[in-house]
Amino acid sequence: MHRVKGGYPSYGQLAGILMLGSTTPRAPGDLGHALTFDFPVRYGFAPNFPFSDLVLGKSDNLPWVIEAVNDLQNQGSRFVAADCGLFSVFHREINDQCDIPFLSSSLMMIPFLKGIYPGKKLGVLTGDTRILSDQHLRPVGACLEDVVMEGLESSSEFQRVVIDHEDNLDLAALERDTLQAGLRLIKKHPGIGAVILECTNLNTFKQSLQQQLGLPVYDMISLVNWVADGFLFRTYAERFI
């Protein structure tokens, strides 16, 4: 029998998911829905951290986030992923102060995707194009020149549920608005190489976007699964040549 190392109150939760404490409805595909993942996750919360700090890059309340990440580590998480892509603005600060990897945003994938789609722009679907700026891209090694963007600022369903925090979500309406944003993106910018979903509330509609746009679509789940793969043991059947 192997020895099992102790030191944690519970075991088996590979990834920690950092939430801000919003009660926005979540569907599978969203980081906030545990059935999204093929492996156990543990949720941690920073309810005192205001969303506006992510927009403005204001770091006064960042200790609340550091505390939540450290708590997830102390409970056994091997890495932590943020539930809002705008956490990229604090990518360096949080990783500098934490001992396990902090995945701040799907925007972290931009430098890698630039390498496999050379000479092509990357499309980004975001909640509001008026918010996402260079201050969110540069900390993860990207810049506005790397991407073209389309947002859901005109979506009444996104505004009602995600921004105003109403407690019922019309999935069909938000899917329709997300697909329309994707179609606007490729119409305005033909020839883009791939699409990245910055806003994690759009992840649920990834498959629909792939089918509708005919392009590769990457989201925060793509990044989480890739990092998790480094911790998951895989066995392969013997192969005879």
pLDDT in tens, 84-116: 999 999 999 999 999 999 999 999 999 999 999
Tally of residues, the chain: 241
**Residue 10: predicted pLDDT:** 79
**Residue 62: predicted pLDDT:** 96
Give the model confidence (pLDDT) of 133-161 as tens digits: 999 999 999 999 999 999 999 999 999 99
**Residue 240: predicted pLDDT:** 65
**Residue 127: predicted pLDDT:** 95
**Residue 8: predicted pLDDT:** 81
**Residue 4: predicted pLDDT:** 79
Task: Give, in words, the CATH class of 106-219.
Answer: alpha beta
Residue ranges of the chain assigned to CATH 3.40.50.1860: 15-105+225-229, 106-219
Q: pTM of the full predicted structure?
A: 0.93
- Give 91's contacts (C-beta < 8 A, 6+ positions apart): 102, 104, 105, 108, 139, 140
**Residue 232: predicted pLDDT:** 86
The band of 241, judged by pLDDT with boundaries at 50, 70 and 90, is: low
Taking residues 212-241, what's their average pLDDT? 89
**Residue 1: predicted pLDDT:** 59
**Residue 28: predicted pLDDT:** 95
CA distance 228 to 78: 9
- Among all chains, which residue has been given the structure tokens 């392009």? 215
**Residue 43: predicted pLDDT:** 97
Determine what percent of the chain is predicted with pLDDT higher than 90.
Answer: 84
Determine what percent of the chain is predicted with pLDDT higher than 70.
Answer: 98
Degrees (nearest 5) of the Cα angle 170, 103, 18? 55
The architecture of the domain spanning 15-105+225-229 is 3-Layer(aba) Sandwich (3.40)
